[in-house]
Amino acid sequence: MHSVPGYPDSAFERARAYIAGPVAPEDGLTPALKWAFQHHSEGRWKRIGILVPGQECVREHRGLHRLRTRGVTVEAATDPRPLAGFTGPVIAYCPNLYALAVAERLPITCGIVAVAADNAPLRPWVHAFTPQHLAGHVLAPVQPLLPDATARRAMVYFTHRLTTTSLADDHPRIQGIVEGLRQLRAQGAVFTTEELIALALQLNWPAGAVDQLQQLAAEAFPEPAA
């Protein structure tokens, strides 16, 4: 059993799976639904939730409308309280990083399956939770995740600050965290932005904080050109 600050063990240990590109999201819905039904004892449409990045995604994908008529709950990560009170399982459909972070903070224990339109936001989530691969490209998780002990301790400390104070995703606060990480990098700490994001997901950071960390860390620690 894992023990992660701010993360209930039951939530951390829940089942996870993903369908990556080049599988089209529309084609990934069927295996995702099959997996979701396998992870709920009742196996009923109304027990399935779908989380999309924004309401425009619902308008663009007609298959989501058909699922709604069957009783599936479809809501956006940007809604005021997405899937509030929902117990899962949840399909994260075409998720961006923000939507994945929202899904991870839902009080569900059944499981999360991600159907990617873009593999990039999926990678740190795969690093964080090593979900089951269902289709598409295999995304190899980084193991061990963020082995630099100094950087890891700093992230755990920042997590405590975020979860015990208000305005967790306040922009200046995340800027301060990135500045602290920049100082650690200057002192020899070794890490990548993707590792930082993966650990932030694993430590159950608020979705807005994860999203801002990704943006600010990508600017502060640019990856070398291939």
- pLDDT, tens digit, 9 for 90 and up, residues 96-130: 999 999 999 998 778 999 999 999 999 999 999 99
Q: Name the residue among 157, 149, 143, 139 with its Cα closest to residue 100.
A: 139
pLDDT of residue 226 exceeding 80, the answer is no
| 46 CB neighbour count, 10 Å cutoff | 10
- 190-203: average pLDDT: 96
Q: Which amino acid, residue 25?
A: P
Residue 73 contacts residue 49 (beta carbons within 8 Å): yes
Pick the CATH number of 9-135 from 3.30.70.120, 3.30.70.980, 3.40.50.970, 3.40.50.300: 3.40.50.300
Average confidence (pLDDT) over 136-157: 95
Banded pLDDT at 10 (limits 50, 70, 90) = very low
Q: What is the pLDDT of residue 8?
A: 45
Rounded CA-CA distance 13/98 in Å is 21
What are the start and end residues of each CATH 3.40.50.300 domain in the chain?
9-135
What pLDDT, on the 0 to 100 scale, is given for residue 167? Answer: 56
Residue 219 has pLDDT above 50, yes or no: yes
Burial 188-207 (b: 16+ CB within 10 A, else e): ebebebbbbbbbbbbbbbbb
How do residues 44-55 score in pLDDT, each as one tens digit? 888 899 999 998
What pLDDT, in 10s, does the model give residues 171-196? 788 999 999 999 999 999 999 999 99
In 77-100, which positions are buried (b, 16+ CB within 10 angstroms) versus exposed (e)?
beeeebbeebebbbbbbbbbbbbb
